[in-house]
Amino acid sequence: MMVEGMRKVITTGRPLSLSGLDGVPLLPPSTTPSLTHPPYTTAISTALLAHPPQTAWLIATGALTNIAHLFRAHPTLKSHIAGLSIMGGAIGNGFSSAPLGRKKGEGERFGNWTPYAEFNIYCDPEAAEEILEDEVLAGKTVLVPLDVTHQAIADAGVRRGLLHGERWSSGSSDVGERDGEVEGRSYSPVRALFHDVLTFFGETYDREFGLSAGPPLHDPLAVAAAVVPELFDDRGGERYRVEVDTKGEHSEVPEEVLQLGRTRVELLERGEPGVRIPRTFDVDGFWWMIDCALGRAERATPLRREDVRAWAPRSG
C-alpha cells in the first residue's frame, strides 16, 4: 500500500534523478495511484497498532516530515512501537573509516548534499530535530548515517555476484565473470533490474563524489538495523545525544545555507538512554541478506522473463 504524505518539503535544482529510478529500462510503468484516503497518519497508525505493543518497527528512509506529523497526530505510538530506524545524517570527524567522497571543486566533505549535511536531514531539519531530540523516541531510535552506509560499497564483484545469484564475497575477483564475459548467463528480471539500479547509481557517485569503486547502499541498511540489529557494532552499547543544526536557509548560496541540516552527536555515559548509532557492521552478512531478498523477490515478481531476454547488463 502506498499512501500520500506531506507534499513539497523542499524544491531543489539538483535532483538525484528525474524519476528516482533513472537508468532502469526494465521497470514497468506504475499503474496504481497512491491513496489519499485515509490520511497517511491514520493509515500508518492503523498499521502499527494492528501489532502488539513493542513489536513493530517504523523505518524512515527519507525526510522526516511525515514521521514528525505522525507522532504529533498519534503521540501514543511513541511508546507503542518497538523502534524507529532512520537512514539519515552524516557525522564525519573520523566517526568511521568509510570513504565519504569529495565534491569537485570543494574537496573533502562528509555530507552528500552540502559539505555538512546529508540529504534526508537537510530537507527538513526541524522535523529531524523534533524526532531525534524526543526523550521517548531517543532510547528506541537507530540512526544509520552516511558514515555507516558508505561501508556498503557495491563494487564490481558484489554487483556480479548479486546479478548471477551466486555465492560471493565483497571485492572478490572470482565472483561471476570478468567484465564483458556474460554471454549465455541467465538473469532473472529482478536481478537484472537491481543490477542496473546499482550501476546507474554508481556512475552518479563516481561523477559527483569521486567514489569509483561502486555506489553505497543506503536505505536497505536502515531496514537491516531494525530486522537484524546484531549485524551492527555499536562498541558494546554506545548511545548518543543527537542535535540537528537548524540555522541557515535552503539555498544554492553556501553563505546562506551555513551548516543547515548537520547532525552533531555527543557520546553519552554508559547505560544512559540515547540514539543508537553503530560504527560498523558485518558487510558480508548484509550482502547475503540482499541476495536472499532478491531470491524471494524473484519468486514473487510480476516481471516477465521476456522483459529481460534482450537485456544486457550495464558496463561496470
Q: What is the pLDDT of residues 202-259, one digit of tens each?
A: 998 898 888 899 999 999 999 999 999 999 999 999 999 999 999 999 998 989 999 9
C-alpha distances out from residue 312 to 163, 179, 185, Å: 11, 12, 10
What pLDDT does 252 receive?
Answer: 86
Is the bond preceding 38 in cis, omega lying within 30 degrees of 0?
yes
pLDDT at 289 over 60: yes
Residues 67 and 143: their CA atoms lie apart, in Å, by 14
pLDDT at 173 over 60: no
Look up cell 565473470; give the residue.
177
Q: Are 72 and 94 in contact (CB under 8 A)?
A: no
Percentage of the chain with pLDDT > 90? 60
Q: Which helix (H) or strand (E) holds 60?
A: strand 57-60
What are the residues whose beta carbons fall under 8 Å from the beta carbon of 44, sequence distance 6 or more? 3, 58, 66, 70
Domain range list for the chain: 35-152+217-281, 153-215+283-316
Look up cell 497526530; give the residue.
73
Take residue 89 and report the three cell numbers written for it: 545524517
What pLDDT does 210 receive?
Answer: 85
Take residue 67 and report the three cell numbers written for it: 514521521
Nearest partner of 43 among 17, 13, 77, 12, judged by Cα: 77
- Coil, strand or helix at 255: helix
Q: Which residues pair with 280 in a beta bridge?
A: 233
Q: Which helix (H) or strand (E) holds 85?
A: strand 83-87
What residue type is assigned to position 85 of the chain? Answer: S
Residues 136 and 76: their CA atoms lie apart, in Å, by 10
Instruction: State the pTM of this model.
Output: 0.85
What pLDDT does 178 receive?
Answer: 30
- Provide the pLDDT confidence category of residue 183 given band limits of 50, 70 and 90: very low
Strands 141-144 and 83-87: parallel
What's the average model confidence in pLDDT over 103-125? 84
What residue type is assigned to position 53 of the chain? Answer: P
**pLDDT tens per residue, range 30-64:** 677 777 778 899 999 999 999 999 999 999 999 99
- 35-152+217-281 is classed in which CATH architecture? Alpha-Beta Complex (3.90)
b vs e for 69-82, b when ≥16 Cβ sit within 10 Å of the residue's Cβ? bbbeebeebbebbe
